[in-house]
């Protein structure tokens, strides 16, 4: 193990080490590590495109359809922290390979599920398997790339894979669903997981905490009790169910989280070390990453519908138009990794948030007749800014965590990412839908409709499209669609303005709060081949 020097001078954190340089094996191993990150991200988004075919085949009830979509995210978010701690104890490569096998098997179960209930069960198991894939990937990067410049670039590639997966999901799903059955969106996981199982033992090193202590089973239960109700409650808010059950779920989750943190402070070997949050670099980077995902996911909730229901594009074409976001995210991640070698991370993240805010500002000018170039320009700015933020924030988080806690730190960041995405849909989505409802009513969209159709059309753009398709008078249907599309675009603009304001404020705060924080080198990692 190389000698590590940590200096704190006038609030400036400097970490120095004589680090080994990674070779070809490590870079090939990075390509292997990006595979599960890409697939987990794709799986979150690709199912939305398959819902019409899935519904026609399995005929699930409304509540069952929601569980098919949501149960994956619930189990993924709830198990990330326990799985991060488990990876540090039993070995990060070992847990990654176990998770790859489980993810492949559960993907097959989901693809060939004979009914709604078996599919819900398969999706729950798939979410649990995904939770074993995420923490080891970022933690292993910490082990493999001990040179600071190489580590930053490796983390940038990892972050770009995570962001790119959410964009590539609709493209891959659209292509598959135009040729195969709905289960094909799950089967694409299988060959990739086989490749990971074959190459992982040869290209990935093993690492585990040399003094792990016993696994905290009670802490794992409390972690689940904290995360699951909060994510459930936030999703209920996003779907308009802001009633007592949602409030009770969030309150119970917060209470369980407080008990969990109190327990962790008292343990000699905590599952999650609360002292991590006392480090300003760690805490501010975590919040910044969460806000970036909050804005990104919240806006993409509208972008997908805008492309298909306002511009009338096919799913595959709509997916292709989001490619600029994926490409710019990759470029932004790589460029940020280079800039961060000379510029402090707070300034790089602040610049990335500013760039993303500009992308939101551009998209606040969208309307029903806007050309696609306005959207593409906004997505280019947004993708490059978010890519830069995620790359640098991820690097700071893993660099400031102790080597034996890198898995837990990675899990915390990924759990915060899941929560940020849920909050983005809940907050930005709810505000946008409120604007839609108000503008639709103000423009007389209910005129000539039955009470039932007026209620459906006034709630969502998708409902208005469905009602218009049933109207015998085509002129009335066209008028309804014009009003609904205009109201929806108004909601999108409102969400874009709010996102721009949030990101601009966050850009200033992160630059100020992290102005004295600098991570100059990787920390030392042990390795067992």
Q: Which one-letter DSSP state was computed for residue 243? A: S
> CB of 134 within 8 A of CB of 418?
no
- Taking each helix axis from N to C terminus, what angle separates 345-363 and 372-400, rounded to the nearest 10 degrees? 160
pLDDT at 20 exceeding the cut of 70: no
Angle at the Cα of 317 (from 188 to 335), degrees rounded to 5? Answer: 75
Indicate the range of 135-144, 250-259, 499-508 predicted with least confidence. Answer: 135-144
d(CA 20, CA 147): 6
Residue of higher predicted confidence among 247 and 121? 121
Neighbours of 447 (CB within 10 A): 11
323: left (phi over 0), alpha (psi -120 to 50) or beta: alpha
pTM: 0.73
Judge whether 208 and 88 are in contact, CB under 8 Å: yes
Question: Residue 14 pairs with which residues in a beta bridge?
Answer: 7
DSSP string, 248-290: HHHHHHHHHHHHHHHHHHH-SS-SS-GGGGGSHHHHHHHHHHH
* Residue 108 confidence (pLDDT): 92
Per-residue confidence (pLDDT) for residue 354, from 0 to 100: 92
- pLDDT tens sequence across 270-314: 766 667 666 777 778 888 888 888 887 777 777 877 887 788 777
Average pLDDT over residues 512-526: 61
Helix (H, G, I), strand (E, B) or coil at 323: helix
Instruction: Report the alpha-carbon distance of residue 99 to residue 125 in Å, rounded.
Output: 11
Rounded-to-integer distance, Cα 420 and Cα 245, Å? 21
**H/E element holding 294?**
helix 280-305
Give per-residue pLDDT as tens, 317-353. 777 777 777 778 778 877 887 888 788 888 888 999 9
Return the top range by mean pLDDT from 372-381, 499-508, 517-526: 499-508
Which residue in 67, 125, 426, 81 sits closest to 257, CA to CA? 81
Can you tell me the distance from the alpha carbon of 136 to that of 78, in angstroms, rounded to the nearest whole number? Answer: 16
> By the 8 A CB rule, do 523 and 17 touch?
yes
pLDDT over 70 at 139, yes or no: yes
């Amino acid at each position: 193990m190389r000698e590590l020097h940590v200096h704190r001078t006038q609030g400036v954190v400097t970490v120095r080490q004589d680090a080994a340089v990674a070779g070809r094996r490590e870079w090939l191993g990075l390509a292997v590590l990006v595979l599960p990150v890409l697939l987990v991200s794709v799986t979150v988004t690709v199912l939305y495109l398959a819902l019409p075919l899935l519904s026609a085949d399995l005929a699930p009830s409304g509540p069952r359809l929601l569980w098919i979509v949501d149960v994956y995210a619930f189990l993924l978010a709830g198990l990330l922290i326990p799985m991060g701690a488990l990876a540090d104890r039993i070995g990060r490569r070992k847990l990654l390979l176990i998770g790859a096998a489980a993810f492949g098997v559960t993907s097959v179960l989901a693809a060939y599920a004979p009914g709604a209930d078996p599919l819900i069960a398969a999706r729950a198991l798939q979410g649990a398997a995904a939770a074993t894939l995420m923490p080891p990937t970022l933690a292993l990067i910490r082990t493999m790339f001990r040179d600071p410049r190489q580590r930053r670039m490796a983390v940038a590639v990892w972050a770009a894979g995570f962001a790119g997966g959410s964009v590539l999901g609709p493209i891959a799903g659209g292509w598959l669903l135009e040729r195969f059955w709905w289960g094909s969106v799950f089967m694409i996981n299988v060959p990739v997981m086989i490749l990971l199982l074959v190459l992982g033992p040869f290209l990935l090193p093993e690492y585990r905490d040399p003094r792990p202590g016993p696994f905290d089973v009670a802490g794992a239960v409390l972690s689940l009790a904290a995360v699951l109700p909060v994510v459930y409650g936030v999703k209920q808010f996003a779907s308009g169910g802001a009633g007592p059950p949602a409030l009770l779920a969030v309150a119970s989750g917060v209470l369980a989280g407080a008990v969990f943190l109190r327990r962790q402070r008292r343990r000699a070997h905590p599952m999650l070390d609360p002292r991590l949050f006392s480090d300003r670099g760690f805490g501010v980077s975590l919040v910044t990453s969460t806000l970036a995902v909050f804005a990104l996911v919240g806006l993409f909730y509208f972008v997908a519908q805008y492309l298909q229901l306002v511009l009338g594009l096919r799913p595959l074409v709509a997916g292709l138009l989001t490619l600029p976001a994926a490409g710019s995210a990759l470029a932004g991640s790589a460029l940020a990794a280079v800039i961060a070698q000379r510029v402090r991370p707070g300034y790089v993240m602040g610049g990335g948030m500013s760039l993303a805010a500009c992308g939101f500002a551009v998209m606040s000018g969208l309307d029903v007749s806007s050309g696609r170039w306005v959207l593409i320009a906004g997505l280019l700015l947004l993708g490059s800014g978010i890519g830069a933020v995620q790359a640098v924030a991820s690097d700071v988080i893993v660099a400031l965590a102790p080597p034996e806690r890198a898995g837990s730190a990675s899990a915390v960041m990924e759990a915060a990412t899941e929560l940020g995405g849920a909050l983005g849909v809940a907050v930005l989505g709810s505000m946008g839908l409120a604007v839609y409802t108000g503008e639709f009513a103000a423009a007389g969209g209910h005129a000539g409709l039955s009470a039932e159709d007026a209620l459906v059309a006034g709630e969502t753009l998708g409902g208005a499209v469905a009602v218009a398709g049933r109207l015998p008078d085509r002129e009335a249907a066209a008028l309804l669609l014009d009003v609904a599309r205009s109201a929806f675009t108004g909601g999108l603009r409102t969400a874009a303005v709010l996102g721009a304001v949030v990101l601009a404020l966050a850009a200033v705060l992160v630059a100020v709060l992290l102005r004295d924080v600098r991570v100059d080198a990787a920390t030392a990692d042990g390795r067992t081949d």
